[in-house]
A = this chain, B = another copy of it.
């Protein structure tokens, strides 16, 4: 509760870097090395790891293996929460193939779509059901997380259904802010907003560049 949101985000990134280091055969790592790969300061890495309850040895760095365990026991629960996807359109299918087989932990185990022609078969190795089956499948499979990849108009209705089915976390790709019960966590990935933001800052860089050019003259 007193864990900064950004710390959680960075821990996910550290973990990814550590996984890669482990496959490279690295056994010990300094905070500085992690920091360089994630583009943050080493202070930040050490504080985050402290918050996560991990510890290293002075002048000896961190043991990759135990660090991964510590981060996992901080971030992950005892069992994997199942993940489902609603909306198997272009974006939904792309997400299915993106997430399929990426980790043992957190794989999409069910998809739902309004279009009956997509249902009853597998898409990227994931079974696709009709919307009517949603509550039942979520209940049976103990699914705890939902990914919304439906049009903006349908998002709130689908969201309500998911929440009623006992979902605890939502990842929303629809360009709408959803109303969720306080017991449900909802994160928005707003693609249109993010592109506009990039456009804004790109323009800023450009203007800085231009004024710099004038200053040189």
Interface residues of chain A, those whose CB is within 8 Å of chain B, are: 1, 5, 8-9, 12-13, 15-16, 37-39, 75-77, 81, 83, 89-91, 93-95, 97-99, 102-103, 106, 144-145, 147, 168-171, 175, 177, 183-185, 187, 189-206, 208-209
Contacts of A8 in B (CB 8 A): 197, 200-201
Distance (whole angstroms) from the CB of A169 to the closest CB of chain B: 3
| Structural contact, A145 and B9, CB atoms closer than 8 A | no
| Structural contact, A205 and B185, CB atoms closer than 8 A | yes
From B98, B196, B208, give the contact of A12 (CB < 8 A). Answer: B196
| Structural contact, B171 and A77, CB atoms closer than 8 A | no
Query: In terms of DSSP, what is the predominant structure of the interface of chain A?
Result: helix
The 10 closest A-B pairs by CB, nearest first: A169-B202, A94-B94, A168-B202, A185-B201, A90-B94, A169-B198, A91-B94, A12-B193, A12-B196, A77-B203
Contacts of A205 in B (CB 8 A): 168-169, 183-185
Contacts of A76 in B (CB 8 A): 199-200, 203
From B169, B170, B198, give the contact of A187 (CB < 8 A). Answer: B198
Bound together, the chains give a CA A54 to CA B99 distance in angstroms of 42
Bound together, the chains give a CA A12 to CA B97 distance in angstroms of 30
| Structural contact, A75 and B169, CB atoms closer than 8 A | no
Bound together, the chains give a CA A192 to CA B37 distance in angstroms of 17
Contacts of A98 in B (CB 8 A): 90-91, 191
| Structural contact, A185 and B171, CB atoms closer than 8 A | no
Bound together, the chains give a CA A191 to CA B94 distance in angstroms of 12
Contacts of A16 in B (CB 8 A): 175, 192-193
**Chain B residue at minimal CB-CB distance from A81:** B199
Pick the most buried of A93, A145, A191: most chain B CB atoms within 10 A of its CB.
A191
Bound together, the chains give a CA A144 to CA B195 distance in angstroms of 12
| Structural contact, A13 and B193, CB atoms closer than 8 A | yes
Bound together, the chains give a CA A95 to CA B173 distance in angstroms of 12
Pick the most buried of A95, A147, A197: most chain B CB atoms within 10 A of its CB.
A197
